[in-house]
Amino acid sequence: MGEYIMDMRKRVGRIPLMQCGASVIVENAAGEILLELRADTKDWAYIGGAVELYERVEDAAARELWEETGLIADELTLLGVFSGEKLRYTYPNGDQVSNVDVVFVCRAFHGELAPQAGEVDCLRYFPIDALPELLFPVNRPGLEAYLAQRNRP
């Protein structure tokens, strides 16, 4: 969790907080997507986290990708911005959020996969027709949009 969100939590407690996220769906040359097994919820999720105060969303997405996976984005393409009731979430510690998630797709990257200790239990590529059932709930709208885009002629 970033410094800004931690500071806000000290002030407001666990009540719903608007949170801007920057996320990345990584697609390898085989067309598989990279998912992480979150340490906090034990759900599979695409890569992402909170945007820091005054940070550009694109920079936050690239930073989260590097921090959580060890990969460096050579190119990020905007998939979409997701918000609303489906992005309401309560974390295991009781913190409530209303997420606005800016999701990018990354097909050009380099680096060695290295899961971030304490946040990521495992990193794994999945074929799009064999995604795990335990998906992080707030990722569903972004994943659905990504899959719909891939299925367009």
pTM: 0.94
Which 3 state secondary structure label does DSSP give 136? Answer: coil
User: For 39-83, how does the pLDDT look when each residue is reduced to its tens digit (9 = 90+)?
Assistant: 999 999 999 999 999 999 999 999 999 999 999 999 999 999 999
The tens digit of pLDDT for each residue in 9-48 reads 999 999 999 999 999 999 999 999 999 999 999 999 999 9
* Residue with token string 């979430």: 89
Closest CA to 21 of 68, 67, 82: 82
Which residues make Cβ contacts (< 8 Å) with residue 138, sequence separation at least 6? 86, 87, 89, 99, 101
In degrees and rounded to multiples of 5, residue 29 shows phi and psi of -65, -25
User: 38-61 burial, b if ≥16 CB within 10 A, otherwise e?
Assistant: beeeebbbbbbbbbbeebebeebb
- C-alpha dihedral over 4, 65, 97, 78, to 10 degrees? 110
Instruction: Place domain 26-151 in its CATH homologous superfamily.
Output: Nucleoside Triphosphate Pyrophosphohydrolase (3.90.79.10)
